[in-house]
C-alpha cells in the first residue's frame, strides 16, 4: 500500500461497505482522527491514513510548511500536489482491497488534511462523493487550471471562530467558492480554536448518516 494506515472494519458484516478515509493535520499521525472512529456509523469501513513525510517525535506532514524571514510562512506546493496524487492512488488501493461501495466514498480531513481533501476532489473529480473539511480552507494555488463541470461531490465545511492556526476568514471563502461552482455544501462555525467541538462532531456524524 502506498501509505501506512489504521483500519476499523464495519461493525456489521456488509458487502461493499461505504468507505471513509481520514486525513490528519500537519505534525499529527494516523492515531489522531482514528480516536473517534468508534463513534461513527457501524456500517462504515474507516481508514485512517498517515502522511508520508516524517517530522520526528511521532509527527507526520502531507507537505512542508516553511518559515522564512522574507516570505513568512509558505507551503511546499509541489510536495502538496504529490501527496494529493499519493492519496488518490491510496483510495483506489483501499477500494480494491476491501471491495467498498464505489458510489459511497467519504473523505474527512482536518487542517492540512482538509486542504488536501478539497484539492483532491477537484484534481480527481468524483473519486470521492463526499468531503468533510474540518478547520481547513480551499487553497487556490492547489486547484487544477480548469475545474471539471462533471463534479457531483458535496461538502461539509466547519471551522472554529477563534482558530489561531488557520484564520476563520480563509475558511469563510470556501462555501461561496463551492456555491459559485454549483456544488452542494454546508458551512458551520463553532466557538472553538483549531479543533473539533463536540457539537461539530455530532453535526458531521448526522451529515454522514444522511448520505449512507
For each of the domains in the chain, give its residue range(s) and CATH number, in order of start: 5-209 (3.40.50.1820)
Say what the pLDDT of residue 76 is.
86
Say what the pLDDT of residue 71 is.
64
Say what the pLDDT of residue 74 is.
72
Candidates 151, 136, 129; CA nearest to 207 is 129
- 3-state class percentages of the chain: helix first, strand second, coil last, to nearest 5: 30, 25, 40
Q: For residue 94, how far is the Cα from the chain centroid?
A: 16
Say what the pLDDT of residue 1 is.
85
Query: Is residue 5 classed as helix, strand or coil in its secondary structure?
Result: strand
Say what the pLDDT of residue 110 is.
97
Q: Per-10-residue mean pLDDT for the chain, 212 residues long? A: 95 94 97 94 97 94 80 81 98 98 97 97 98 97 95 98 95 98 98 94 97 96
Say what the pLDDT of residue 70 is.
65
Say what the pLDDT of residue 56 is.
87
d(CA 56, CA 97): 30
Cell of 211: 448520505
d(CA 31, CA 58): 10
Say what the pLDDT of residue 190 is.
97
Say what the pLDDT of residue 191 is.
96
Residue 21 DSSP one-character state = E
Amino acid at each position: 500500500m502506498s501509505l501506512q494506515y489504521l483500519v476499523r472494519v464495519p461493525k456489521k458484516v456488509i458487502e461493499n461497505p461505504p468507505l471513509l478515509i481520514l486525513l490528519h493535520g500537519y505534525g499529527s499521525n494516523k492515531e489522531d482522527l482514528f480516536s473517534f472512529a468508534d463513534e461513527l456509523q457501524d456500517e462504515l469501513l474507516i481508514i485512517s491514513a498517515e502522511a508520508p513525510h516524517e517530522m520526528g517525535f511521532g509527527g507526520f506532514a502531507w507537505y512542508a510548511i516553511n518559515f522564512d524571514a522574507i516570505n513568512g510562512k509558505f507551503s511546499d506546493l509541489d510536495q502538496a500536489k504529490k501527496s494529493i496524487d499519493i492519496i488518490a492512488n491510496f483510495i483506489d488501493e483501499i477500494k480494491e482491497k476491501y471491495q467498498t461501495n464505489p458510489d459511497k466514498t467519504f473523505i474527512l480531513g482536518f487542517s492540512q488534511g482538509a486542504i488536501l481533501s478539497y484539492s483532491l476532489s477537484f484534481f480527481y473529480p468524483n473519486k470521492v462523493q463526499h468531503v468533510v473539511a474540518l478547520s481547513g480552507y480551499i487553497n487556490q494555488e492547489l486547484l487544477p487550471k480548469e475545474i471539471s463541470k462533471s463534479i457531483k461531490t458535496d461538502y461539509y465545511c466547519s471551522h472554529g471562530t477563534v482558530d489561531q492556526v488557520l484564520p476563520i476568514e480563509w475558511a469563510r471563502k470556501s462555501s461561496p467558492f463551492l456555491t459559485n461552482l454549483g456544488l452542494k455544501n454546508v458551512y458551520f462555525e463553532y466557538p472553538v480554536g483549531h479543533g473539533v467541538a463536540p457539537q461539530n462532531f455530532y453535526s458531521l456524524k448526522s451529515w454522514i448518516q444522511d448520505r449512507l
